[in-house]
Amino acid sequence: MSLVRRPKPRPQRKPTRKICRPARRAPARRGETLPAWNLADLYRGVDDPQIRADLTAALDRAQSFHDQHSGRLLAGANPDAAVLADALREYEAMLEPAAKAMVYAQLLHAADMGDPRHGGLVAMVAQQFTEIRARLMFFELEWMDVADDVAQRLLDDPRLAFRRHFLATTRRFRPHKLSEAEEQVVNQLANTGSRSWQRFFEEFTAEQKFDLRLNGRVRRLGQSETLALLYDGSRARRKAAADALTAGLRSNARILGYVLNTLLWDQQIDDQMRRYPHPMAARNLDNLIDERTVEALLSSVEEGYPIVQRYYRLKSRLLKIRRLADYDRYAPIASKAATATWSDARQRVLDSFRAFSPELERIAAEFFEQRWIDAQLRPNKAGGAFSAPTVPSAHAYILMNYTGKLRDVMTLAHELGHGVHQQLSRPHGLLQSSTPLTLAETASVFAEMLLFERLMAEQSDPRVKLGLLCNKLEDTFATVFRQTAMTRFEQQVHAARRDEGELPIDEINRHWLETNRAMFADTVELTDGYGWWWSYIGHFVRSPFYCYAYAFGELLVIALVQMYREQGAAFVPRYVALLSAGGSGTPDELLAPLGVDVRQPTFWKKGLAVIDGMVSQAEALARELGYRT
């Protein structure tokens, strides 16, 4: 929640594999209705006067805090640790109502982007939050200016232990801070600069339509509906969906390309002002991870690209397609996709949580009982899925679009993993409850793995098991390998924008195809039309270099699951302790009690070896069913 650093991204949609598939109707038992969340624990509605009252009170408190402490709190050679501790508590307390109003506006907007009042509320709250940030900015800037020896004495003082990690990590940005006057200008201009472009992208893509041409008929679909058809059992429908997506993205490429170019330029300016050595440096610093570890991760995953290629050679034989096209990547292996009612999904997920830890199951059950989940399919609702942690005085909320497919059950488990993690970390307060992105996916991916292993254990039919395993492998590839390719794409376009100026769309397309083709080699044909598909990926706009955190999280969880298999019940309390620690330490510090060292390249290769073993398992099941492998 640092005010000087780039603001943390809003609750994020998951990568492409997590985009939910709206359907006309989800399977349901008689009388069963998909839940919509109840946001009344935050505010009563868009016109609730308490929103402005909270923002006004927070602004007044921020001004008083500024008047009392600016230039005084950390002045001199011997600042008082007790006074600083009291100031930290006040600082956090006044930020919370402002953060609460912000997240409420974002949740309301995500639930219905078509209501102009919701967009207006987002803009109003953002403007007010900017004013509050302006009053409080001095605090972190002056803390960064404290001499190293004085800062270390304060960090070692037990009276500041409750927020030591926040204080220590804030100082990591010391070499990159601007003067207070400069920071104030950057803060004010962001609302009409990068933040406005991000909001424009969100709303523009939410309203974008695609013409699906099939059997002489044309249907206008939204983005999520179009992407959903890439998972269809009919190759004709998959190709029609791919053609529709390409045509729609291409028709808007000038707009979407301009947005990307503008934000690439915006980051270049910011990086130059703050003296970051390369485009990914700020993200690495915010993720509390060093560049060497990130490169070890990315290079290890690239060395594992043959695993992907080996799997898709198998898939081409399973589908009896000589050479897979880009629109065949997610074609189902089973002849009929498995479905589940909402009640079934709830029971399966909670059962998998309970088998691991009754405590985690109890927390997850609250999300259903208290209506903290919005799973309904509605026009103008945001696509994808996320779990928003809100603020420590409230609770997390989950958004998804449930269509009854087994993939959606996995998404439910994923988001409930996030939700449980966020609930466990609330005692650490607003400043230390959120993990860096490198650990943000730990609980969610672990929850998916618990459900997947339970589903596999329930099956005896090798055909069903093969279908489940292939789905899981493709999700894993999307999270580990595809996110790595996307990170390499970002590195290339950021570098090219800085060397060459504004990038033509064809050049952006070229970088996209080059980095993705490296993953598939000759096993999947990525057509030229696929070159436009970078333009719907929101992470490039909302949170540059977010993507490698997914690969980090997935491979980390594979290692943790392997530890659970080996250690059994003894592993559970240590894992729960990891989640309960929230963001109170660096990844190295939080993972050390589990015996994990992410700085070693061999660590990542162990996870890749497990994925390779899953491909071997799929090949064995295929042979059992009579396929040549």
CB 276 within 8 A of CB 527: no
Give the domains, in start order, of the chain with CATH numbers. 36-172 (1.20.140.70)
Q: Look at residue 335 in the predicted model and tell me its pLDDT.
A: 53
Chain segment 337-349, per-residue pLDDT in tens:
578 999 999 999 9
Chain segment 100-115, per-residue pLDDT in tens:
999 999 999 999 998 9
Work out whether strand 386-388 and strand 397-399 pair parallel, antiparallel, or are unpaired: antiparallel
| Average pLDDT, rounded, for the chain | 91
Q: Look at residue 459 in the predicted model and tell me its pLDDT.
A: 85
Vertex 88: Cα angle to 84 and 89 (nearest 5)? 120
On the question of pLDDT at 7 being above 50, the answer is no
616 or 595, which is more confident:
616
Quote the percentage of the chain above a pLDDT of 90.
Answer: 80
Tell me how far apart the alpha carbons of residues 267 and 70 are, in angstroms, rounded to a whole number.
Answer: 29
Q: Look at residue 31 in the predicted model and tell me its pLDDT.
A: 54
Q: Look at residue 382 in the predicted model and tell me its pLDDT.
A: 86
Q: Where do we find the tokens 């803009």?
A: 123
On the question of pLDDT at 565 being above 80, the answer is yes
* pLDDT band with cut points at 50, 70 and 90 for residue 29: low
- Which residue spans within 208-259 are E strands per DSSP? 209-214, 217-222
On the question of pLDDT at 334 being above 90, the answer is no
CB 394 within 8 A of CB 385: no
What lies within 8 Å, CB to CB, of 509 at 6+ separation is: 528, 531, 532, 534
Chain segment 210-235, per-residue pLDDT in tens:
999 999 999 999 888 899 899 999 99
Lowest mean pLDDT segment, chosen from 3-7, 196-200, 291-295, 507-511: 3-7
Token pair for residue 424? 């466990």
Q: Look at residue 399 in the predicted model and tell me its pLDDT.
A: 97
As a whole number, mean pLDDT of residues 277-285 equals 96
Q: Look at residue 628 in the predicted model and tell me its pLDDT.
A: 81
On the question of pLDDT at 14 being above 60, the answer is no
